[in-house]
Structure formats: structure tokens, C-alpha cells
């Protein structure tokens, strides 16, 4: 893969804005789950790992983490609409309070697939925490329980989000324009 040297990145959310919002989400989750003996965060790979790492450091409660992988983009800037599970959880979630941590909720197809799949494993409850919410692209009805930012219908990279594996390392979120 060759990254386009002519690609333009325009900052949408600064590193400071992101860190402030992640801290607020951590405080909100800590309040909402203060009564649980164990909260399981499940990070959706690959995009959510940076968000999950920062979020978990802001939690003031007993928490464990697991990951699962899904794919629906490939090297495109729009979801293919076909969701594949690329890696599964390492531990069971039956009876647990679960928060599914996602980088972005776009069409809602991936989230619907994950919620349907994980509900069969009989967790006590599953909620969704996403850093970015893009409701203008929804193809299925879905509203995340926790959302960091609502963004416009633009393709974004950075802070874990990528285009063809690139740009995840950026500490901010930028609109990606391949032109």
C-alpha cells in the first residue's frame, strides 16, 4: 500500500479536546457503574484500542478488558456493509456488565452485528461507548449509550482510526481527503 502524499488532513478534534472528553466519559462511567463488582470493557479492534487505553485510566472502579476484531471497511472510505468477525473474545461475558468500546459508530451495521452476537453470550447488560458518533450515516436504528463527539459525514483518521492501516498514530482526529 502506498499512502497518498497528496492526501490532505484537516484537524477536526484536537488532542486536548479528545483527552478532556475521554476523562469526562471515564468519570461518567465510574458514576454509572459504581455499584458493580466487575465491569468488562470490550474494545473493538483495531480502531478503539487507543481510546480504550485512555478511557480505562480514567475509571475509578474494578474493570477488566477484552478485545474482539471486526472488519467492514478494508481500504475503502465507506463501510462495505458486510461485517466480519476477525478475532473473538478471550473470556466469557455471561452475567457481566459489559461496555462495548468503539472508535466510531457510523452506519450502525457493525454495532448491530456485535450487539446481536454478544447478547447470545448472556451478559447481564451491554452498553456502548463510542468516541465518535456519525448519526447522519445510520442504516439501522441505533443510539450509543455514551458518545464522545457527534461528527459530520466526513471520513476521519487519527487517534486509532485509520485509512488502510495508516494515520492511527495521530494524537488528534482529522478529516481525510485523498485528493
Question: Which residue in 89, 86, 14, 22 sits closest to 51, CA to CA?
Answer: 22
Confidence (pLDDT) at 164: 85
Single out the catalytic residue among 32, 60, 103, 106. Answer: 106
pLDDT in tens, 153-164: 999 999 999 988
Q: Is 106 a catalytic residue?
A: yes
pLDDT, tens digit (0-9, with 9 covering 90-100), for 102-113 = 999 999 999 999
Q: Is the pLDDT of residue 71 over 90?
A: no
Name the pTM for this structure: 0.89
Which CATH topology does 15-156 take? Rossmann fold (3.40.50)
Q: How many residues does the chain have?
A: 179
Give the Cα separation of 112 and 106 in Å (integer).
11
pLDDT at 118 (0 to 100) = 96
Q: What is the pLDDT of residue 2?
A: 47
Which of 74 and 144 is assigned the larger pLDDT? 144
Find out whether 165 and 176 touch, Cβ atoms under 8 Å. Answer: no
Amino acid at each position: 500500500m502506498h499512502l497518498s502524499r497528496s492526501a490532505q488532513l484537516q484537524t477536526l478534534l484536537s488532542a486536548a479536546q479528545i483527552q478532556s472528553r475521554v476523562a469526562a466519559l471515564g468519570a461518567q462511567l465510574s458514576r454509572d457503574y459504581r455499584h458493580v463488582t466487575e465491569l468488562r470493557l470490550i474494545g473493538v479492534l483495531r480502531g478503539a484500542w487507543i481510546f480504550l487505553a485512555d478511557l480505562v485510566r480514567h475509571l475509578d472502579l474494578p474493570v477488566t478488558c477484552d478485545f474482539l476484531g471486526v472488519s467492514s471497511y478494508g481500504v475503502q472510505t465507506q463501510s462495505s456493509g458486510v461485517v466480519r468477525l476477525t478475532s473473538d473474545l478471550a473470556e466469557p461475558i455471561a452475567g457481566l456488565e459489559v461496555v462495548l468500546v468503539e472508535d466510531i459508530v457510523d452506519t450502525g451495521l457493525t454495532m448491530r452485528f456485535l450487539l446481536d452476537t454478544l447478547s447470545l453470550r448472556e451478559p447481564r447488560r451491554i452498553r456502548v461507548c463510542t468516541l465518535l458518533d456519525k448519526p447522519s450515516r445510520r442504516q439501522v436504528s441505533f443510539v450509543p449509550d455514551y458518545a464522545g463527539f457527534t461528527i459530520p459525514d466526513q471520513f476521519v483518521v487519527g487517534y486509532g482510526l485509520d485509512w488502510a492501516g495508516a494515520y492511527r498514530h495521530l494524537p488528534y482526529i482529522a478529516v481525510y481527503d485523498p485528493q
